[in-house]
Chains A and B, each alone.
Chain A
Amino acid sequence: MGKVKNATNAQPQPTADRATMPINTALRGLLCDRLFWTVAALLALVLGLPASGSLFAHLFPALERPVYLQEPFTQLLWQHCKLVGLSSLVATIIGSLAGIAVTRAAGQAFKPMVDTLATMGQTFPPVAVLAVAVPLVGFGELPALIALTLYGLLPVLQGTVAGLQAVPEPMQQAARGLGLSPWQSLWQLEVPMALPVWLAGVRASVIINIGTAAIASTVGAKTLGSPIIVGLSGFNTAYILQGALVVGLLAVVTDMAFERVASRVAWQA
């Protein structure tokens, strides 16, 4: 008897709370979110570094200028993201299209050649590509963009090919047997099914490029590598540490973001 009464008494309460509930859960979700905290840490680091002079002076008492102040870290971060984003975008587009092309019946003959080219792009150290590109296109962001694009191509290509080839043959045959055109089979069936593996390739490509973009500072592109390069040439360990911290954290944030997207894309629970 008492139980029944309790139940009826308890019922109005959730309706009263309903308006505030989603905000509460959303807030709680955000506070428990690792990605949120990592992004916050990255922003705090970038914004806080210029004001951290006393800390680094304490850590590295021998250094005259313990904090890198030639460009603001926010600007370096933005430049770095822009360079990685642009090169990865181009690498993803070219790599995906090439991957689709060589897995079609008509393009299969080109697969060994495309594989070799992409592997070569990966084998060349990015510094070497930079060195070759500079005399051709001059200093600045363009040689960096070329090197990063070439470097990011292989993981995307591999992901695309592996994803498309993993689509089971009986399923493709069922699609053809039911009357889907090759084009419809590609877009409605093969691409959605290859998406998780393709995304893993893009993820690898972007993460690799975040690290590699730091080297682009050697040819005059302003990136998060600038403090590292300046620090290396000027024996300033604090600069190196600051640049490395931000690049590392950026890579972690990006990887976590990809993980978030990957869990959405997976078609099989």
Chain B
Amino acid sequence: MIRFEHICKSYKGARVVDDLNLHIARGELLVLIGASGSGKSTILKMINRLEPHDSGRILFDGREIQSFKPRDLRLRMGYAIQSVGLFPHWTVARNIATVPNLLGWPAAKIGKRVDALLTLFELAPAQYRTRLPHQLSGGQQQRVGVARALAADPDVLLMDEPFGALDPVTRAALQQALKRIHRQSGKTIVLVTHDIDEALLLATRVVLIDQGRVVQQATPLDLLSRPANATVEEFVGRSDIGIKWLSLQSAVDRARAQPTSPGLTLAAQASLREAVSIMALHHVDRINVLDTSGQHAGVLYAADVFAPQGTPGG
């Protein structure tokens, strides 16, 4: 879908992006992660030509992005940013309708689309359509920001730290919403963040950027179990890397197919991290596990979690 080939960019004499090669496949939720100043945001903005690159090629849908008019390119890509950037003098509905309006959709189609998106983001259309951005909470504004990016059903969704300024509860809710939308729509999403937990939770593939270079690209699980070097280890958090690794795996997968044993039962869809946490707290070495439908699925043994096979690095 999007391919970076030998992309370089300097800013005031300093290399911001250094010989970047990256392929973003259709339907991926690719997370670019790195410390501030690593160049991750610049890389994202190169895709819709908000940032020009000095050398190399970027292909979108097999065509070099320089061959598109910036405007045409941007109309095919949704764009959501951290500070939301909602237009304060426009209602929620008009904000969401920005791109459909630019594309000249008929009013009835726009109205329908706005209502559908508001519903998708759990904002009652009748109640929120006519509100102004300053009448919304931070989380609601952010949802409208993402809805606006999705309005014209773009091929690609570019998100620049979209949940950065939110409180943890709201952020978690929006992360789940984004995951759901990605699963349902199968859209290609490129998301920039500096939050490793967000990256591990959302990504189908994580690309760790440092000083304008790709340090490692891997699935969240591989990133934790096989960090390429010390930089990656440092970034994912050396001390609790194993805990994060546990949080990415479901308890059901490690359970032994046994009938219910006396003792505690884990909630459905719980991760190994939650299982270990509960076992540690209650001083037990086994726990009942449910499947997604809430039926008994087996018994998880602490020994199996810590068994030699399949542990980080192994």
| Residues in chain A near residue B88, CB distance under 8 A | 171, 193, 267-268
Q: Are A168 and B89 in contact (CB under 8 A)?
A: no
Could you say which interface size class chain B belongs to? 20 to 34
Kindly list chain B residues whose C-beta atoms are within 8 Å of the C-beta of A269. 132, 134
- Residues in B with CB closer than 8 Å to A168 are 83, 85
**What residues of B have a CB within 8 angstroms of the CB of A180 in the complex?**
98, 102
Contact between B74 and A178, CB atoms less than 8 A apart: yes
Cβ–Cβ contact A178 & B79, under 8 A: yes
Contact size class for A? 20 to 34
In the complex, chain B residues 67-117 whose Cβ is within 8 Å of any chain A Cβ: 71-72, 74-75, 79, 81-89, 98-99, 102
Q: Are B50 and A177 in contact (CB under 8 A)?
A: yes
Interface residues of A in 124-176 (CB under 8 A from B): 168, 170-171, 173-176
Q: Is the CB of B50 within 8 A of A171?
A: no
A11 to B72, CA, bound (A): 60
Known contacts A176-B50, A178-B99; A171/B85 CB under 8 A:
yes
Closest approach, in angstroms, between the C-beta of B173 and any C-beta of chain A?
22
- Is B205 positioned at the interface, with any CB of A under 8 Å from its CB? no
- B158 interface residue per 8 A CB criterion: yes
Tell me which of A170, A179, A268 contacts B81 (CB under 8 A).
A170
Checking B50, B89, B102, B134 against A184 with a beta-carbon cut-off of 8 angstroms, the contacting residue is B102
Q: Contact check: which of A171, A179, A192 meets B99 at CB < 8 Å?
A: A179
Q: Do B81 and A173 have beta carbons less than 8 Å apart?
A: yes
Interface centre among A178, A180, A192, by most chain B C-beta atoms within 10 angstroms, is A178
Does B3 lie at the interface of the complex (its beta carbon under 8 Å from any beta carbon of A)?
Answer: no
A-chain residues with CB within 8 Å of residue B74 when the two chains form the complex: 176-179
Q: Which of B50, B71, B158 has the most chain A CB atoms inside 10 A of its CB? A: B71
Interface residues of B (CB under 8 A from A): 45, 48, 50, 71-72, 74-75, 79, 81-89, 98-99, 102, 132, 134, 148-149, 158
Question: Can you list 8 pairs linking A and B with CB atoms under 8 Å apart?
Answer: A168-B85, A171-B83, A174-B81, A174-B84, A174-B86, A175-B85, A178-B148, A179-B71
